[in-house]
A and B are shown apart, each in its own frame.
Chain A
Amino acid sequence: MLCRVRLLKKGDILVILSVLLLEAVLAIVFFGSAFQGDRVVVELNNELLYDFSLLSNETLEIRGNIGKVTVAVENGRARFTEAECPDHICVKTGWISKTGQAAACVPNGVLIRISGSGGGDAPDVVLK
Chain B
Amino acid sequence: MAVCGLLIAAAFALSWLEFILPISLPVPGFKLGLANTVTLFALYKLGAKPALAILIGRCALSALLFGGVTQLLFSLMGGLFAYAVMLFIKRFRCFSPYGVSIAGASAHNIGQTTAAVLLMGTPSLYSYLLFLLPAGIVTGFLTAYIYKLCERVTSR
Interface residues of A (CB under 8 A from B): 7-12, 14-16, 19-20, 22-23, 26-27, 30, 43, 46, 66, 86-87, 89-90, 92-93, 100-102, 104, 106-107, 109, 111, 113
User: Are A27 and B136 in contact, CB atoms less than 8 angstroms apart?
Assistant: no
B53 at the A interface (CB under 8 A): no
Which bracket fits the contact residues of B?
35 or more
Known pairs A7-B98, A8-B98; list 6 more (Cβ under 8 Å).
A9-B96, A27-B130, A30-B127, A100-B124, A101-B127, A102-B122
11 A-B pairs in the complex with CB atoms less than 8 angstroms apart: A9-B98, A11-B95, A12-B95, A19-B106, A23-B133, A26-B126, A30-B130, A102-B127, A107-B70, A111-B121, A113-B122
Q: Which residues of B contact A43 (CB under 8 A)?
A: 120-121
Give which listed residue, A102, A107, A109, contacts B68 with CB less than 8 A. A107
Q: Which residues of A contact B26 (CB under 8 A)?
A: 92
Measured CB to CB, the closest approach of chain B to A106, in angstroms, equals 5
Interface residues of B (CB under 8 A from A): 26-29, 66-68, 70-71, 74, 89, 92-96, 98-99, 102-103, 106, 116, 119-122, 124-130, 133-134, 136-137
Q: Which residues of B contact A8 (CB under 8 A)?
A: 96, 98-99
With A26-B127, A43-B121, A101-B127 as given contacts, are A11 and B99 in contact (CB-CB < 8 Å)? yes
User: Are A12 and B29 in contact, CB atoms less than 8 angstroms apart?
Assistant: no
Q: Which residues of B contact A23 (CB under 8 A)?
A: 129-130, 133-134
Give which listed residue, B67, B92, B102, contacts A19 with CB less than 8 A. B102
